[in-house]
Amino acid sequence: MGICLPWKALSLCLISLCFIISISVATDEDSGCIKSFEPLHDFSEQCESTDIDPLVVSVFLRNADGLMQHNASVYIDNPTHAPDKSHECIGHPPLNISCAVDMQNHLNFSWDGWSLPGHAHYSISYLVCREEEAVLESSEERFYTPVYHTLIGNQETKDNTLFVFEYIILRINVSYPYMWYIQTQKWDILDIENLDPPRITKASIESERLHLQWDVPRSRGTTNPDCFMYELKINGEVRTLEEGLNHSEESIDPTRHYKIQMRVKTRPICSRSVLWSDWTSVLDLGPSVTRPPNINLGVIVAIALGLPMILLSVLLLCKYQRVLEKLFPPVPGPSIKIEGLLERDNVTQQTQPHSWMEEVTEVGIKETLEPEEEEDDEDDRL
The pLDDT-based confidence of 27 (bands split at 50, 70, 90) is very low
pLDDT at 261 (0 to 100): 94
Q: What is the mean pLDDT of residues 286-313?
A: 76
pLDDT for res 39: 47
Residue 126 has pLDDT above 90, yes or no: no
Model pLDDT for residues 234-276, shown as the tens digit of each residue: 999 999 998 889 999 888 888 888 999 999 999 988 888 889 9
Instruction: Report, as an integer, the average pLDDT of 212-235.
Output: 91
Q: How far is CA 67 from the centre of its chain?
A: 47
Residue 38 has pLDDT above 60, yes or no: no
Average pLDDT over residues 357-378: 50
Amino acid identity, position 211: H
- What pLDDT, on the 0 to 100 scale, is given for residue 29? 43
Q: What is the pTM of this model?
A: 0.59
CATH numbers and ranges of domains, the chain? 30-191 (2.60.40.10), 195-285 (2.60.40.10)
256, 267 Cβ separation under 8 angstroms: no
Adjacent-strand bridge partners of 109? 99, 148
- Angle CA(222)–CA(225)–CA(230) in degrees, nearest 5? 105
What's the pLDDT band for 323 if we cut at 50, 70, 90?
low
Checking if the pLDDT of 303 tops 90, the result is: no
Among 34-43, 151-160, 224-233, 361-370, the range scoring the smallest mean pLDDT is 361-370
- Type and span of the H or E element at 205: strand 200-206
The answer to whether 46 touches 52, Cβ cutoff 8 Å, is yes
pLDDT of 37 reads 53
CB 145 within 8 A of CB 90: no
Question: Is residue 263 within 8 Å of 231, Cβ to Cβ?
Answer: yes
Confidence of residue 346 (pLDDT cuts 50, 70, 90): low
Residue 23 pLDDT class (50, 70, 90 cuts): very low
Is the pLDDT assigned to residue 282 strictly greater than 70? Answer: yes
Q: Write the DSSP assignment of 103-169 as a string of letters.
A: TT-EEEEEEE-TTS-TT-EEEEEEEEEETTEEEEEPPPEEESSSEEEEE------TT----SS-EEE
On whether the CB atoms of residues 215 and 198 are closer than 8 A, the answer is: yes
Bridge partners (DSSP) of residue 133 are: 130
